[in-house]
Amino acid sequence: MADWGTRPLVLAVESDAARLGRTETELARSFGTSLRIRGEPSAAEAVHQLDGALQRGERVALVLVSDRLSQVDRGAVLAAARTQHPEARRVLLIDWGAWSEPDVARTILQGTAIGDLHSYVLRPWVEGDELFHRTVAEIVQDWSRADPRNKREVVIVADPHSGRAFELSNLLHRNRIPYAFRDRDSQRGQQVLRAAAPAPDGQVVVWMPAIGGTTLVDPSDAQVLDAWGIPTTLTEEARTVDLLVVGAGPSGLAAAVYGASEGLHTLVIEREAIGGQAGTSSLIRNYLGFSRGLSGSELAQRGYQQAWVFGARFVLTRWVEALEQADGLLRATVSGQGTVTARAVVLACGVAYRRLGVASVEAFTGQGVYYGASVSAAHALTGLSAAVIGGGNSAGQAVLQLARYCSAVHLVIRGPRLEDTMSAYLIEAIAGEPVITVHRSCAVTDAAGAGRLETLVLSDLTTGDTTTIAADGLFVMIGAEPHTDWLPEQVQRDRRGFVLTGTEAAAGPPDQRQPAPGPDRAPQPHETSLPGLFAVGDVRSGSVKRVASAVGEGSVVVSEVHQHLSVPRA
Protein backbone atom coordinates (compact mmCIF):
# COMPACT_ATOMS: atom_id res chain seq x y z
CA MET A 1 0.00 0.00 0.00
CA ALA A 2 1.42 3.41 -0.95
CA ASP A 3 2.01 5.75 1.97
CA TRP A 4 0.33 9.02 0.91
CA GLY A 5 1.40 10.94 4.03
CA THR A 6 5.13 10.68 3.30
CA ARG A 7 6.89 13.00 0.89
CA PRO A 8 8.18 11.16 -2.19
CA LEU A 9 11.89 10.35 -2.01
CA VAL A 10 14.70 11.98 -3.99
CA LEU A 11 17.84 9.88 -3.64
CA ALA A 12 21.33 11.09 -4.62
CA VAL A 13 24.20 8.56 -4.77
CA GLU A 14 27.70 9.95 -4.78
CA SER A 15 30.91 8.54 -3.25
CA ASP A 16 32.65 11.93 -2.86
CA ALA A 17 31.48 13.47 0.44
CA ALA A 18 31.86 17.13 -0.63
CA ARG A 19 29.98 16.59 -3.89
CA LEU A 20 27.25 14.63 -2.12
CA GLY A 21 26.86 17.35 0.50
CA ARG A 22 26.50 20.09 -2.09
CA THR A 23 23.97 18.11 -4.12
CA GLU A 24 21.90 17.35 -0.99
CA THR A 25 21.97 21.00 0.10
CA GLU A 26 20.88 22.25 -3.31
CA LEU A 27 18.11 19.66 -3.57
CA ALA A 28 16.85 20.53 -0.08
CA ARG A 29 16.90 24.26 -0.90
CA SER A 30 14.36 23.96 -3.72
CA PHE A 31 12.52 20.73 -3.08
CA GLY A 32 12.88 20.04 0.66
CA THR A 33 9.32 20.95 1.57
CA SER A 34 7.56 18.74 -0.95
CA LEU A 35 10.09 15.92 -1.37
CA ARG A 36 12.24 13.91 1.06
CA ILE A 37 15.91 14.42 0.15
CA ARG A 38 18.40 11.70 0.97
CA GLY A 39 22.06 11.31 -0.01
CA GLU A 40 23.97 8.02 0.12
CA PRO A 41 27.73 7.53 -0.34
CA SER A 42 27.60 3.99 -1.75
CA ALA A 43 25.58 1.79 -4.04
CA ALA A 44 24.86 -0.72 -1.24
CA GLU A 45 23.36 1.96 1.00
CA ALA A 46 21.37 3.43 -1.88
CA VAL A 47 19.92 0.02 -2.75
CA HIS A 48 19.05 -0.42 0.95
CA GLN A 49 17.16 2.91 0.85
CA LEU A 50 15.24 1.84 -2.24
CA ASP A 51 14.39 -1.53 -0.61
CA GLY A 52 13.17 0.31 2.49
CA ALA A 53 11.02 2.69 0.45
CA LEU A 54 9.44 -0.30 -1.28
CA GLN A 55 8.73 -2.06 2.05
CA ARG A 56 7.15 1.08 3.50
CA GLY A 57 5.11 1.78 0.35
CA GLU A 58 6.86 5.12 -0.17
CA ARG A 59 7.01 6.70 -3.58
CA VAL A 60 10.35 7.52 -5.19
CA ALA A 61 10.39 10.54 -7.49
CA LEU A 62 14.02 10.72 -8.55
CA VAL A 63 17.28 8.77 -8.28
CA LEU A 64 20.45 10.73 -9.12
CA VAL A 65 23.47 8.48 -9.69
CA SER A 66 27.01 9.77 -9.96
CA ASP A 67 28.95 9.08 -13.14
CA ARG A 68 31.92 8.53 -10.81
CA LEU A 69 30.50 5.31 -9.37
CA SER A 70 31.92 2.16 -10.94
CA GLN A 71 29.83 0.71 -13.77
CA VAL A 72 28.86 -2.23 -11.53
CA ASP A 73 27.74 0.00 -8.65
CA ARG A 74 25.86 2.34 -10.95
CA GLY A 75 24.18 -0.64 -12.60
CA ALA A 76 23.10 -2.02 -9.20
CA VAL A 77 21.43 1.25 -8.16
CA LEU A 78 19.73 1.75 -11.54
CA ALA A 79 18.51 -1.86 -11.61
CA ALA A 80 17.01 -1.55 -8.10
CA ALA A 81 15.33 1.74 -9.04
CA ARG A 82 14.04 0.34 -12.33
CA THR A 83 12.56 -2.82 -10.92
CA GLN A 84 11.30 -1.62 -7.52
CA HIS A 85 10.21 1.94 -8.38
CA PRO A 86 9.62 1.97 -12.14
CA GLU A 87 7.92 5.36 -12.02
CA ALA A 88 11.03 7.05 -10.50
CA ARG A 89 13.16 9.14 -12.90
CA ARG A 90 16.72 7.79 -13.18
CA VAL A 91 19.30 10.46 -13.87
CA LEU A 92 23.09 10.53 -14.23
CA LEU A 93 24.95 13.26 -12.31
CA ILE A 94 27.85 14.58 -14.37
CA ASP A 95 30.49 17.28 -13.98
CA TRP A 96 30.68 20.54 -15.86
CA GLY A 97 33.13 19.92 -18.69
CA ALA A 98 32.22 16.22 -18.92
CA TRP A 99 31.25 16.81 -22.55
CA SER A 100 34.93 16.47 -23.34
CA GLU A 101 34.82 12.86 -22.08
CA PRO A 102 33.53 10.41 -24.72
CA ASP A 103 32.89 7.76 -22.02
CA VAL A 104 30.38 9.96 -20.23
CA ALA A 105 28.55 10.76 -23.49
CA ARG A 106 28.49 7.03 -24.32
CA THR A 107 27.09 6.17 -20.87
CA ILE A 108 24.27 8.69 -21.31
CA LEU A 109 23.49 7.70 -24.90
CA GLN A 110 23.51 3.99 -24.21
CA GLY A 111 21.73 4.27 -20.86
CA THR A 112 18.86 6.28 -22.35
CA ALA A 113 18.60 4.08 -25.46
CA ILE A 114 18.11 0.89 -23.45
CA GLY A 115 15.88 2.54 -20.83
CA ASP A 116 18.33 2.44 -17.86
CA LEU A 117 18.49 6.23 -17.65
CA HIS A 118 15.94 8.94 -18.38
CA SER A 119 18.32 11.84 -18.47
CA TYR A 120 21.41 13.55 -17.04
CA VAL A 121 22.01 16.63 -14.94
CA LEU A 122 25.08 18.79 -14.32
CA ARG A 123 26.21 18.71 -10.67
CA PRO A 124 25.54 21.94 -8.78
CA TRP A 125 28.86 23.80 -8.68
CA VAL A 126 27.82 26.85 -6.68
CA GLU A 127 25.34 27.70 -3.97
CA GLY A 128 21.96 28.43 -5.55
CA ASP A 129 22.88 26.88 -8.92
CA GLU A 130 19.76 27.89 -10.87
CA LEU A 131 20.49 25.65 -13.85
CA PHE A 132 20.59 22.62 -11.53
CA HIS A 133 17.32 23.67 -9.87
CA ARG A 134 15.56 24.25 -13.18
CA THR A 135 16.72 20.93 -14.66
CA VAL A 136 15.72 18.95 -11.57
CA ALA A 137 12.35 20.77 -11.45
CA GLU A 138 11.63 19.74 -15.05
CA ILE A 139 12.55 16.13 -14.29
CA VAL A 140 10.40 16.08 -11.15
CA GLN A 141 7.51 17.58 -13.13
CA ASP A 142 7.97 14.82 -15.69
CA TRP A 143 7.78 12.23 -12.88
CA SER A 144 4.76 13.91 -11.38
CA ARG A 145 2.91 13.71 -14.71
CA ALA A 146 3.91 10.10 -15.29
CA ASP A 147 3.01 8.75 -11.83
CA PRO A 148 -0.72 7.94 -11.94
CA ARG A 149 -0.96 8.18 -8.14
CA ASN A 150 -0.45 11.94 -8.15
CA LYS A 151 -3.41 14.34 -8.12
CA ARG A 152 -4.63 15.11 -11.61
CA GLU A 153 -6.56 17.77 -13.47
CA VAL A 154 -8.78 15.05 -15.01
CA VAL A 155 -9.86 11.76 -13.43
CA ILE A 156 -11.37 8.81 -15.30
CA VAL A 157 -13.39 6.44 -13.12
CA ALA A 158 -14.29 3.12 -14.73
CA ASP A 159 -14.01 -0.61 -14.62
CA PRO A 160 -10.28 -1.48 -15.00
CA HIS A 161 -11.04 -3.60 -18.09
CA SER A 162 -13.17 -0.98 -19.83
CA GLY A 163 -12.07 -0.59 -23.46
CA ARG A 164 -13.70 2.84 -23.63
CA ALA A 165 -11.71 4.01 -20.58
CA PHE A 166 -8.55 2.85 -22.37
CA GLU A 167 -9.50 4.85 -25.49
CA LEU A 168 -10.20 7.96 -23.43
CA SER A 169 -6.90 7.54 -21.55
CA ASN A 170 -5.12 7.42 -24.89
CA LEU A 171 -6.96 10.52 -26.13
CA LEU A 172 -6.02 12.48 -22.98
CA HIS A 173 -2.44 11.23 -23.01
CA ARG A 174 -1.88 12.14 -26.65
CA ASN A 175 -3.32 15.60 -26.12
CA ARG A 176 -1.10 15.96 -23.03
CA ILE A 177 -4.04 16.48 -20.71
CA PRO A 178 -2.87 15.31 -17.26
CA TYR A 179 -5.23 12.59 -16.06
CA ALA A 180 -5.48 9.74 -13.57
CA PHE A 181 -7.40 6.51 -13.82
CA ARG A 182 -9.33 5.21 -10.79
CA ASP A 183 -10.93 1.79 -10.53
CA ARG A 184 -14.61 2.44 -9.81
CA ASP A 185 -14.48 -0.13 -6.97
CA SER A 186 -11.49 1.50 -5.27
CA GLN A 187 -11.86 3.86 -2.33
CA ARG A 188 -10.73 6.84 -4.42
CA GLY A 189 -12.96 5.85 -7.34
CA GLN A 190 -15.97 5.61 -5.04
CA GLN A 191 -15.13 9.03 -3.56
CA VAL A 192 -15.29 10.57 -7.04
CA LEU A 193 -18.52 8.78 -7.91
CA ARG A 194 -20.13 9.95 -4.64
CA ALA A 195 -18.97 13.55 -5.05
CA ALA A 196 -19.23 13.98 -8.81
CA ALA A 197 -21.60 11.62 -10.55
CA PRO A 198 -23.23 8.38 -9.57
CA ALA A 199 -23.19 6.25 -12.71
CA PRO A 200 -24.51 2.76 -13.37
CA ASP A 201 -21.97 -0.08 -13.69
CA GLY A 202 -20.17 -0.13 -17.01
CA GLN A 203 -20.38 3.62 -17.55
CA VAL A 204 -17.23 5.68 -17.70
CA VAL A 205 -17.11 8.89 -15.67
CA VAL A 206 -14.73 11.72 -16.55
CA TRP A 207 -14.32 14.27 -13.76
CA MET A 208 -12.38 17.51 -14.30
CA PRO A 209 -11.54 19.01 -10.89
CA ALA A 210 -9.32 21.63 -12.59
CA ILE A 211 -12.24 22.85 -14.74
CA GLY A 212 -14.71 23.66 -11.96
CA GLY A 213 -15.51 20.01 -11.28
CA THR A 214 -17.10 19.38 -14.71
CA THR A 215 -18.39 15.80 -14.83
CA LEU A 216 -19.16 13.80 -17.98
CA VAL A 217 -20.82 10.39 -18.02
CA ASP A 218 -19.95 8.10 -20.96
CA PRO A 219 -18.70 11.04 -23.04
CA SER A 220 -17.61 11.03 -26.68
CA ASP A 221 -14.03 12.08 -27.54
CA ALA A 222 -15.37 15.42 -28.78
CA GLN A 223 -17.27 16.07 -25.52
CA VAL A 224 -14.12 15.46 -23.46
CA LEU A 225 -11.96 17.76 -25.59
CA ASP A 226 -14.69 20.44 -25.73
CA ALA A 227 -15.00 20.39 -21.94
CA TRP A 228 -11.22 20.83 -21.67
CA GLY A 229 -11.37 23.80 -24.05
CA ILE A 230 -10.13 22.22 -27.28
CA PRO A 231 -12.57 23.02 -30.12
CA THR A 232 -14.11 20.16 -32.05
CA THR A 233 -16.66 22.05 -34.16
CA LEU A 234 -16.28 24.56 -36.99
CA THR A 235 -17.34 28.11 -36.28
CA GLU A 236 -18.83 30.23 -39.10
CA GLU A 237 -15.77 32.51 -39.27
CA ALA A 238 -13.60 29.44 -39.89
CA ARG A 239 -15.55 28.38 -42.98
CA THR A 240 -13.61 30.73 -45.25
CA VAL A 241 -9.88 30.90 -44.64
CA ASP A 242 -6.63 31.81 -46.37
CA LEU A 243 -4.88 28.61 -45.37
CA LEU A 244 -6.31 25.24 -44.42
CA VAL A 245 -3.83 22.80 -42.85
CA VAL A 246 -4.81 19.13 -42.87
CA GLY A 247 -3.22 17.38 -39.88
CA ALA A 248 -1.63 18.68 -36.68
CA GLY A 249 1.55 16.60 -36.58
CA PRO A 250 4.92 18.43 -36.52
CA SER A 251 4.65 19.57 -40.16
CA GLY A 252 1.06 20.84 -39.79
CA LEU A 253 1.87 22.65 -36.54
CA ALA A 254 4.85 24.34 -38.17
CA ALA A 255 2.70 25.42 -41.15
CA ALA A 256 0.11 26.77 -38.69
CA VAL A 257 2.71 28.74 -36.69
CA TYR A 258 4.26 30.30 -39.81
CA GLY A 259 0.94 30.82 -41.62
CA ALA A 260 -0.77 32.52 -38.67
CA SER A 261 2.29 34.52 -37.65
CA GLU A 262 2.56 35.87 -41.19
CA GLY A 263 -0.99 37.14 -41.17
CA LEU A 264 -2.85 34.31 -42.91
CA HIS A 265 -6.28 33.37 -41.56
CA THR A 266 -5.29 29.78 -40.75
CA LEU A 267 -7.39 26.76 -39.79
CA VAL A 268 -6.03 23.33 -38.80
CA ILE A 269 -8.21 20.22 -38.96
CA GLU A 270 -6.88 17.20 -37.03
CA ARG A 271 -8.46 13.77 -36.99
CA GLU A 272 -7.04 12.47 -33.71
CA ALA A 273 -4.63 14.31 -31.47
CA ILE A 274 -2.17 17.18 -31.66
CA GLY A 275 1.31 15.86 -32.49
CA GLY A 276 0.57 13.09 -34.99
CA GLN A 277 3.10 10.26 -34.88
CA ALA A 278 5.51 12.40 -32.91
CA GLY A 279 2.89 12.65 -30.17
CA THR A 280 3.23 8.90 -29.62
CA SER A 281 7.00 9.09 -29.12
CA SER A 282 7.91 9.11 -25.42
CA LEU A 283 11.26 10.74 -26.12
CA ILE A 284 12.53 12.45 -29.24
CA ARG A 285 16.27 12.54 -28.83
CA ASN A 286 17.42 13.96 -32.16
CA TYR A 287 15.49 17.26 -32.28
CA LEU A 288 17.90 20.17 -32.36
CA GLY A 289 18.35 21.97 -29.10
CA PHE A 290 16.93 19.37 -26.67
CA SER A 291 19.98 17.48 -25.42
CA ARG A 292 17.96 15.60 -22.78
CA GLY A 293 15.33 14.69 -25.35
CA LEU A 294 11.79 15.90 -25.38
CA SER A 295 8.54 13.99 -25.27
CA GLY A 296 6.68 14.18 -28.57
CA SER A 297 3.47 15.26 -26.88
CA GLU A 298 5.27 18.10 -25.10
CA LEU A 299 6.82 19.34 -28.36
CA ALA A 300 3.37 19.17 -29.95
CA GLN A 301 1.65 21.05 -27.10
CA ARG A 302 4.24 23.81 -27.30
CA GLY A 303 3.68 24.08 -31.06
CA TYR A 304 -0.08 24.05 -30.60
CA GLN A 305 -0.02 26.88 -28.06
CA GLN A 306 2.39 28.88 -30.21
CA ALA A 307 0.12 28.57 -33.26
CA TRP A 308 -2.96 29.38 -31.18
CA VAL A 309 -1.35 32.53 -29.74
CA PHE A 310 -0.54 33.69 -33.29
CA GLY A 311 -4.22 33.27 -34.15
CA ALA A 312 -4.43 29.86 -35.86
CA ARG A 313 -7.69 28.05 -35.18
CA PHE A 314 -7.93 24.30 -34.59
CA VAL A 315 -10.72 21.74 -34.88
CA LEU A 316 -9.94 18.30 -33.46
CA THR A 317 -11.56 14.86 -33.81
CA ARG A 318 -12.61 15.81 -37.38
CA TRP A 319 -10.98 14.90 -40.63
CA VAL A 320 -10.93 16.22 -44.16
CA GLU A 321 -12.71 13.59 -46.22
CA ALA A 322 -12.86 15.25 -49.67
CA LEU A 323 -11.28 18.13 -51.56
CA GLU A 324 -12.29 19.86 -54.78
CA GLN A 325 -11.50 22.98 -56.80
CA ALA A 326 -14.21 25.62 -56.74
CA ASP A 327 -13.88 28.96 -58.57
CA GLY A 328 -10.09 29.00 -58.26
CA LEU A 329 -10.32 28.16 -54.55
CA LEU A 330 -10.20 24.80 -52.77
CA ARG A 331 -13.21 23.42 -50.95
CA ALA A 332 -12.71 20.77 -48.27
CA THR A 333 -15.39 18.61 -46.73
CA VAL A 334 -14.83 18.15 -43.01
CA SER A 335 -16.37 15.09 -41.32
CA GLY A 336 -19.73 16.00 -39.78
CA GLN A 337 -19.07 19.73 -40.19
CA GLY A 338 -19.84 20.68 -43.80
CA THR A 339 -17.30 22.52 -45.93
CA VAL A 340 -14.41 24.97 -45.58
CA THR A 341 -13.26 27.15 -48.50
CA ALA A 342 -9.55 27.97 -48.57
CA ARG A 343 -7.27 29.97 -50.84
CA ALA A 344 -4.54 27.38 -50.22
CA VAL A 345 -4.38 23.99 -48.52
CA VAL A 346 -1.33 22.36 -46.93
CA LEU A 347 -1.57 18.58 -46.68
CA ALA A 348 0.30 17.58 -43.52
CA CYS A 349 -1.52 14.33 -42.94
CA GLY A 350 1.57 12.14 -42.48
CA VAL A 351 1.61 8.39 -42.39
CA ALA A 352 0.55 5.76 -39.92
CA TYR A 353 3.20 3.15 -39.09
CA ARG A 354 1.70 -0.31 -39.06
CA ARG A 355 1.71 -1.46 -35.44
CA LEU A 356 2.78 -4.94 -34.42
CA GLY A 357 -0.30 -5.47 -32.26
CA VAL A 358 1.41 -7.69 -29.64
CA ALA A 359 0.45 -6.18 -26.28
CA SER A 360 3.58 -7.26 -24.37
CA VAL A 361 5.79 -5.74 -27.10
CA GLU A 362 3.76 -2.51 -27.34
CA ALA A 363 4.18 -2.09 -23.57
CA PHE A 364 7.91 -1.44 -24.14
CA THR A 365 7.39 1.27 -26.78
CA GLY A 366 10.01 3.92 -26.02
CA GLN A 367 11.79 1.58 -23.56
CA GLY A 368 13.61 -0.50 -26.13
CA VAL A 369 10.84 -0.87 -28.74
CA TYR A 370 10.89 1.69 -31.56
CA TYR A 371 8.79 2.28 -34.65
CA GLY A 372 10.47 3.31 -37.87
CA ALA A 373 12.84 6.21 -37.80
CA SER A 374 14.33 5.76 -34.34
CA VAL A 375 16.90 3.34 -35.73
CA SER A 376 19.05 6.43 -36.21
CA ALA A 377 19.95 5.80 -32.56
CA ALA A 378 21.70 2.53 -33.50
CA HIS A 379 25.09 3.47 -32.12
CA ALA A 380 23.51 3.93 -28.70
CA LEU A 381 23.19 0.12 -28.61
CA THR A 382 26.94 -0.44 -28.89
CA GLY A 383 27.88 -3.89 -27.60
CA LEU A 384 24.24 -4.88 -27.01
CA SER A 385 21.68 -7.03 -28.85
CA ALA A 386 19.05 -5.68 -31.22
CA ALA A 387 16.27 -7.08 -33.38
CA VAL A 388 14.51 -5.68 -36.44
CA ILE A 389 11.14 -6.85 -37.74
CA GLY A 390 10.52 -6.36 -41.44
CA GLY A 391 11.71 -7.62 -44.80
CA GLY A 392 11.88 -4.38 -46.79
CA ASN A 393 14.91 -2.35 -47.80
CA SER A 394 14.53 -0.01 -44.84
CA ALA A 395 14.72 -3.01 -42.47
CA GLY A 396 17.78 -4.26 -44.39
CA GLN A 397 19.51 -0.91 -44.03
CA ALA A 398 18.60 -0.86 -40.35
CA VAL A 399 20.20 -4.24 -39.56
CA LEU A 400 23.38 -3.27 -41.40
CA GLN A 401 23.50 -0.03 -39.46
CA LEU A 402 22.95 -1.89 -36.18
CA ALA A 403 25.60 -4.49 -37.07
CA ARG A 404 28.22 -1.75 -36.93
CA TYR A 405 27.57 -1.30 -33.23
CA CYS A 406 25.75 -4.31 -31.74
CA SER A 407 27.17 -7.65 -30.61
CA ALA A 408 24.15 -9.50 -32.06
CA VAL A 409 21.47 -8.41 -34.52
CA HIS A 410 18.35 -10.43 -35.38
CA LEU A 411 16.28 -9.81 -38.49
CA VAL A 412 12.80 -11.32 -38.20
CA ILE A 413 10.68 -11.81 -41.33
CA ARG A 414 7.33 -13.53 -41.76
CA GLY A 415 8.07 -14.86 -45.24
CA PRO A 416 10.41 -17.74 -46.12
CA ARG A 417 12.70 -15.64 -48.35
CA LEU A 418 14.33 -12.23 -48.06
CA GLU A 419 14.68 -12.17 -51.85
CA ASP A 420 10.93 -11.54 -52.22
CA THR A 421 11.06 -8.16 -50.53
CA MET A 422 14.65 -6.88 -50.24
CA SER A 423 17.23 -5.71 -52.80
CA ALA A 424 20.00 -8.17 -53.67
CA TYR A 425 22.84 -5.85 -52.60
CA LEU A 426 21.40 -5.61 -49.11
CA ILE A 427 20.88 -9.38 -48.85
CA GLU A 428 24.49 -9.88 -49.89
CA ALA A 429 25.74 -7.38 -47.33
CA ILE A 430 23.63 -9.02 -44.61
CA ALA A 431 25.07 -12.45 -45.49
CA GLY A 432 28.58 -11.02 -45.04
CA GLU A 433 27.87 -9.75 -41.49
CA PRO A 434 28.61 -12.49 -38.93
CA VAL A 435 26.66 -10.73 -36.13
CA ILE A 436 23.36 -10.79 -38.10
CA THR A 437 21.00 -13.77 -37.82
CA VAL A 438 18.00 -13.89 -40.15
CA HIS A 439 14.91 -15.63 -38.73
CA ARG A 440 12.70 -16.57 -41.69
CA SER A 441 9.01 -17.56 -41.43
CA CYS A 442 9.01 -16.13 -37.91
CA ALA A 443 7.01 -13.66 -35.86
CA VAL A 444 7.72 -11.87 -32.59
CA THR A 445 4.96 -13.06 -30.27
CA ASP A 446 6.06 -11.93 -26.79
CA ALA A 447 8.46 -9.62 -24.97
CA ALA A 448 9.75 -9.40 -21.40
CA GLY A 449 12.05 -7.30 -19.26
CA ALA A 450 12.28 -5.50 -15.92
CA GLY A 451 11.32 -1.92 -16.76
CA ARG A 452 12.88 -2.15 -20.23
CA LEU A 453 13.03 -4.62 -23.09
CA GLU A 454 15.33 -7.56 -22.37
CA THR A 455 14.03 -10.61 -24.26
CA LEU A 456 11.80 -11.47 -27.21
CA VAL A 457 9.99 -14.67 -28.05
CA LEU A 458 10.13 -15.70 -31.72
CA SER A 459 7.57 -18.18 -33.01
CA ASP A 460 8.27 -20.25 -36.09
CA LEU A 461 5.19 -19.83 -38.28
CA THR A 462 5.67 -23.23 -39.92
CA THR A 463 6.45 -25.48 -36.96
CA GLY A 464 5.04 -23.43 -34.07
CA ASP A 465 8.36 -23.79 -32.17
CA THR A 466 9.37 -20.85 -29.99
CA THR A 467 12.81 -19.41 -29.22
CA THR A 468 13.71 -16.71 -26.70
CA ILE A 469 16.42 -14.24 -27.70
CA ALA A 470 18.12 -11.44 -25.77
CA ALA A 471 17.21 -8.02 -27.24
CA ASP A 472 17.93 -4.59 -25.77
CA GLY A 473 16.35 -2.84 -28.75
CA LEU A 474 13.58 -3.82 -31.17
CA PHE A 475 12.89 -1.81 -34.33
CA VAL A 476 9.53 -2.45 -35.95
CA MET A 477 9.72 -1.67 -39.66
CA ILE A 478 6.67 -3.29 -41.16
CA GLY A 479 5.63 -0.36 -43.31
CA ALA A 480 3.84 2.94 -43.16
CA GLU A 481 0.74 3.98 -45.04
CA PRO A 482 -0.09 7.53 -46.13
CA HIS A 483 -3.93 7.24 -46.46
CA THR A 484 -4.36 9.69 -49.33
CA ASP A 485 -7.14 7.94 -51.21
CA TRP A 486 -9.62 10.73 -50.40
CA LEU A 487 -7.71 13.24 -52.57
CA PRO A 488 -9.03 14.12 -56.04
CA GLU A 489 -7.64 12.10 -58.93
CA GLN A 490 -5.65 14.98 -60.39
CA VAL A 491 -3.35 15.02 -57.32
CA GLN A 492 -0.39 12.92 -58.52
CA ARG A 493 0.82 10.25 -56.10
CA ASP A 494 3.52 7.60 -56.29
CA ARG A 495 2.49 3.96 -56.38
CA ARG A 496 2.44 3.77 -52.54
CA GLY A 497 0.11 6.74 -52.25
CA PHE A 498 2.68 9.38 -51.19
CA VAL A 499 1.93 12.77 -52.75
CA LEU A 500 4.25 14.07 -55.49
CA THR A 501 5.37 17.69 -55.34
CA GLY A 502 7.50 20.11 -57.35
CA THR A 503 9.15 18.77 -60.48
CA GLU A 504 8.00 15.23 -59.62
CA ALA A 505 4.39 16.43 -59.60
CA ALA A 506 4.92 18.15 -62.95
CA ALA A 507 6.39 14.99 -64.48
CA GLY A 508 3.78 12.58 -63.12
CA PRO A 509 4.32 9.32 -61.20
CA PRO A 510 7.76 7.70 -61.82
CA ASP A 511 6.23 4.59 -63.41
CA GLN A 512 4.11 6.65 -65.83
CA ARG A 513 6.28 9.73 -66.38
CA GLN A 514 3.61 11.64 -68.24
CA PRO A 515 3.39 15.36 -67.52
CA ALA A 516 0.67 15.90 -64.95
CA PRO A 517 -2.42 17.45 -66.44
CA GLY A 518 -3.46 20.73 -64.88
CA PRO A 519 -1.23 23.62 -63.98
CA ASP A 520 0.16 25.70 -66.80
CA ARG A 521 2.99 26.83 -64.54
CA ALA A 522 5.49 24.52 -62.85
CA PRO A 523 4.50 23.58 -59.29
CA GLN A 524 6.61 25.12 -56.53
CA PRO A 525 8.88 22.73 -54.58
CA HIS A 526 6.16 21.65 -52.10
CA GLU A 527 3.20 22.18 -54.43
CA THR A 528 1.23 19.24 -55.80
CA SER A 529 -0.17 18.87 -59.29
CA LEU A 530 -3.31 20.69 -58.06
CA PRO A 531 -2.48 24.43 -57.92
CA GLY A 532 -2.78 25.82 -54.40
CA LEU A 533 -2.54 22.39 -52.79
CA PHE A 534 0.80 21.79 -51.03
CA ALA A 535 2.17 18.70 -49.27
CA VAL A 536 4.73 18.61 -46.45
CA GLY A 537 6.25 16.09 -44.05
CA ASP A 538 5.83 12.34 -44.15
CA VAL A 539 2.93 12.34 -46.63
CA ARG A 540 5.13 13.90 -49.31
CA SER A 541 6.82 11.47 -51.68
CA GLY A 542 10.58 11.42 -51.06
CA SER A 543 10.47 13.30 -47.76
CA VAL A 544 12.84 12.39 -44.93
CA LYS A 545 10.69 10.79 -42.25
CA ARG A 546 11.87 12.80 -39.24
CA VAL A 547 10.39 15.38 -36.88
CA ALA A 548 12.94 18.05 -37.75
CA SER A 549 12.46 17.73 -41.50
CA ALA A 550 8.65 17.74 -41.10
CA VAL A 551 8.93 20.96 -39.07
CA GLY A 552 11.30 22.40 -41.68
CA GLU A 553 8.98 21.63 -44.58
CA GLY A 554 5.95 22.96 -42.68
CA SER A 555 7.85 26.20 -42.09
CA VAL A 556 9.17 26.84 -45.59
CA VAL A 557 5.94 25.92 -47.38
CA VAL A 558 4.29 29.11 -46.14
CA SER A 559 6.50 31.28 -48.36
CA GLU A 560 5.28 29.18 -51.32
CA VAL A 561 1.70 29.71 -50.14
CA HIS A 562 2.31 33.48 -50.16
CA GLN A 563 3.71 33.16 -53.67
CA HIS A 564 0.58 31.28 -54.77
CA LEU A 565 -1.73 33.82 -53.13
CA SER A 566 0.07 36.73 -54.77
CA VAL A 567 -0.86 35.48 -58.26
CA PRO A 568 -4.29 36.83 -59.27
CA ARG A 569 -6.92 34.08 -59.65
CA ALA A 570 -7.90 33.22 -63.23
Ligand X SMILES: Cc1cc2nc3c(=O)[nH]c(=O)nc-3n(C[C@H](O)[C@H](O)[C@H](O)COP(=O)(O)OP(=O)(O)OC[C@H]3O[C@@H](n4cnc5c(N)ncnc54)[C@H](O)[C@@H]3O)c2cc1C
Instruction: With H, G, I as helix, E, B as strand and everything else as coil, classify residue 201.
Output: coil
CA distance 405 to 381: 7
CA distance 322 to 488: 8
Q: How far is the CB of 232 from ligand X (least distance, A)?
A: 12
One-letter amino acid of 170: N
Contact 493, 500 (CB under 8 A): yes
| Closer Cβ to ligand X, 180 or 447, answer by number | 447
Quote the crossing angle between the two packed helices 250-261 and 547-566, to the nearest 10°. 40
- How far CA 6 is from CA of 35, 136, 490, in Å, comes to 9, 20, 65
Listed residue (60, 73, 69, 173) closest to 118, CA to CA:
60
Beta bridge partners of 341: 240, 331
CA 351 to chain CA centroid, nearest Å: 14
| Closer Cβ to ligand X, 333 or 407, answer by number | 333
Q: CA angle, 149 as apex, 217 and 299 as ends, to 5°?
A: 85
CA distance 260 to 311: 6
CA 502 to chain CA centroid, nearest Å: 30
Query: Nearest 10 degrees: CA dihedral of 181, 187, 192, 194?
Result: 150
| Closer Cβ to ligand X, 119 or 162, answer by number | 119
| Closer Cβ to ligand X, 74 or 546, answer by number | 546
| Closer Cβ to ligand X, 25 or 549, answer by number | 549
Instruction: Give first-to-last CA distance, the chain, whole Å.
Output: 72
Backbone angle region of 213, left / alpha / beta, with phi > 0 → left and psi within -120 to 50 → alpha? left
Contact 254, 555 (CB under 8 A): yes
Q: How far is the CB of 507 from ligand X (least distance, A)?
A: 23
Q: How far is the CB of 372 from ligand X (least distance, A)?
A: 5
| Closer Cβ to ligand X, 53 or 345, answer by number | 345
Q: How far is the CB of 539 from ligand X (least distance, A)?
A: 6
| Closer Cβ to ligand X, 319 or 405, answer by number | 319
| Closer Cβ to ligand X, 297 or 374, answer by number | 374
- How far CA 410 is from CA of 388, 473, 502, in Å, comes to 6, 10, 39
| Closer Cβ to ligand X, 47 or 300, answer by number | 300
| Closer Cβ to ligand X, 279 or 532, answer by number | 279
CA atoms within 13 A on the CB side of 75: 6
In the complex, the residues that contact ligand X under the rule CB under 6 A are 246-252, 269-272, 276-278, 280-281, 284-286, 319-320, 348-351, 353, 371-374, 483, 537-538, 545-548, 550
Name residues whose C-beta falls within 8 Å of residue 305's C-beta, 6 or more positions apart in sequence. Answer: none
- Report the number of secondary-structure helices (H) and strands (E) in the chain: 15, 26
Q: How far is the CB of 516 from ligand X (least distance, A)?
A: 22
CA distance 166 to 160: 9
Q: How far is the CB of 446 from ligand X (least distance, A)?
A: 20
| Closer Cβ to ligand X, 216 or 248, answer by number | 248
Dihedral angle sign, alpha carbons of residues 164, 167, 173, 174? negative
One-letter amino acid of 515: P
| Closer Cβ to ligand X, 35 or 234, answer by number | 234
